[in-house]
Every structure is written in structure tokens, then in C-alpha cells.
Structure 1
């Protein structure tokens, strides 16, 4: 199975085109006001049209209510809903039924104990995204540029597709993939020159580095 590369938090036409041209499989758009990557519905609509069918569109939300999700569905028509808050298993099931889209549940990881909730979510989610647990005083649940201990996933037995995120960049993505054996990687702050400001060269370098690991594995 080919590696999935997701560039998240895109907010301009230029950087979206760079990610698409460089071969991103998924492009992520953030709808969460505390984030420096938050998009208005109008910008989301514009960027969504630009994607066409070149990659999967992912809408990142945090504990969003149905009205918010309705608006995002109308504006972006995402292929996947990424739920990055404290959504329960029941809420995931509800969202899948109401909105008819695959859901990717982000799980914050700091210790092995954090994996205890995985079986419940795995029954409902279409994909799991393992992310670093944010500090207690953080104002948002992701995009903070901190990795977690990838060794925690070394012996993971999960039939569901999963991705890793949190503190990834071009220099460490190969090690993250080697240890976690994840089927995909998700980067945001690791391809930025400042919070919320994507760097075209860093985007291209990250995708190159991630793809290089795949090429090595098939030799």
C-alpha cells in the first residue's frame, strides 16, 4: 500500500498549488478559530474548488456542532472529516451517519495509557491519526510542532489505517515511519516559516523525504 502524505493547515492558493504539484495525497483545511491556520468558509470554498480532484480534501474540526459541520460541508465538500477534539465514539458514529463522510479521529498520545481508548474509536473511525498530546495550557489540540514517543506505536496491532503527526519535518519523517510503520504522515507546523505561514520549499522537501522512505522500502 502506498504511503499517504497529508499537508495540513493550508490557507493560500500558492501553497495549496505547491502541495498539489508536489504530490500530496491529502490537503487539510482548518476550521477552528483559535488556530493560526483557521479559514473562513469563503476562503475554504475558494481553496476547495482549486483542489479539483488532485487530492483528498480534509476538513479539520475540533468538537464542532452540527451547524458548523453543515456549513463546512456546504463550503468545502470535504472527502474526509478530521475530528481533532474530545469527540466521543458515539459522536463519531453520529457524525458519520449525518454527514456521510469518512471520519479520521485524532488521538493525543503521550504515554502507553493513551492507547487504551483506541479499540472503541477503531470500531467507528475510518482512520486514526496519532498526534502528540498538547500541554495542559495549550489553546488548541494540534499543530504545536511537538512529536510524541514513536516507540509507543512500535508493537501496535491495528487493522484500521493510521497516520502519525506531531512535530514532523523533512529531517525526521523517515525515522517516524520506520518506528511506527504508519501508512501515512500528516504535517503542518513542520512546513512553516512562522505559525500559519506555509513555506513552499519546506512543503516540497517534506514530501520528497516521505516518498524517499517508500522507495527504500520497495527495493
Structure 2
């Protein structure tokens, strides 16, 4: 199975193009002001419009006001919404867009419950738990807490980089992997060589699986 790859926290056109050229399946734009990778609606529109065909654009939100989500989706060509806060399934489903839900994992039961609670999602993203942060921690977690039975596609995030993503893919067999800080030179600024190394590692394991 091909493992899909999302490069998240894109804040520059050149980084979006670099990710696409390196073989990323999706890029992520962060619409959450406290994040150092947050983008304005205007910049997001410019970045999204630069992305070539067959590369998905994902908009990441954290406990947003519904009016703000609608404002963004009216102005930016987003293929998928990603909710990273404490949103309910009903909240996530109201925007006439496909969506994925992020879960900060403390125990296996968190993931099992998410599959049930967010059954209408296009996928469940599992990330490291931090009581202060909604993602972007740069930390990994114990992948043994991820259940083998998965009624929805599972997206693995949390502390991934070119040094550990091959092991992650081999052990977890996720539908997709999601990386942000692991391919940066500084927060919000991606590095082409790190993106390429990350993607090459994923493809290498896919070929040998």
C-alpha cells in the first residue's frame, strides 16, 4: 500500500511548490493564530492557488468560530478540513467539506473512542498529547497504543522526521503520515532537502513492504 504524505504548516509559496515537486500528496495550512505557522486568509489563498493538480490542500483549525471556517472556505480552495481541537463530530460536519479529526493520544482507548465518535470523518489523525498544545509539539508517542483494527484511515503525526518515519511506517502501517517541524529549518520555514529525505524514506519502506 502506498503511504500518503502530508507536509503541514506551509506558510510560503516556495515551500508548497517544493513539497509538491518532492512528491507530497497534500499540504497543510494552519488557521490558528497562536501557531507560529499560522497563515492569513489572503496568504493561504495565494499558496493554495499555486499548488499543482492532484496535490490536496488541507485547512487546519483549532476550536474555531464557525463563521471563521466559512470565511476561510469561501476564500481559499481547500480540499479537506482538519480539526485539531475539542470539536464535536456535529461541529466538524457542518461545513459541506470532507474532514479529518486529530486526537492527542494518551492511551489506546483515546483512538478507539475517536473512531466511534467521529465515524463520519475521512480519517483520524493521531498525535502526541501535550496539555498545553493542540499539535505541533515535535514529540512522538508510543505507537503501540494505536489499535490494529481501524474502521477509518489512520494518519500518523507527532515528532516524525526522516530519521524515524521509515520505522513508523513499517511498525504502524498508517494510511498517511503528517509532518511539520521535522522538515523545517525554523518554525514555518521548510527545507527542500529535509522534505525530500522524508518522502524518500516513506517511499523506500513502501517498496520493501
Alignment of 1:40-119 (within 5 A): 40-93=40-93, 95=94, 99-119=95-115
Matched, 1:208 2:204: no
The TM-score, its normalising length taken from structure 2, stands at: 0.95
CA distance in 2, matches of 1:74, 1:92: 16
Matched, 1:149 2:142: yes
Partner of 2:171: 179
Matched, 1:132 2:103: no
The structure 1 residue matched to 2:187, chosen from 192, 195, 201, is 195
Matched residue of 2:34: which SS?
Answer: coil
- Cα drift, residue 115 of structure 1: 2.6
- Cα drift, residue 60 of structure 1: 0.4
Any gaps of 5 or more consecutive residues in structure 1?
Answer: none
Partner of 1:166: 158
CA distance in 1, matches of 2:69, 2:118: 22
Query: After the TM superposition, which segments of 4 or more aligned residues of structure 1 sit over 3 Å from their partners?
Result: none
Contact 1:29–1:59, Cα closer than 8 Å, also in 2: yes
Q: What is the aligned-residue RMSD (CA, Å)?
A: 1.4
Contact 2:49–2:77, Cα closer than 8 Å, also in 1: no
CA distance in 1, matches of 2:107, 2:171: 16
Partner of 2:3: 3
Contact 1:92–1:124, Cα closer than 8 Å, also in 2: no
Any gaps of 5 or more consecutive residues in structure 2?
Answer: none
Larger mean Cα displacement after TM superposition, 106-115 or 125-134: 106-115
Corresponding pairs, count:
209
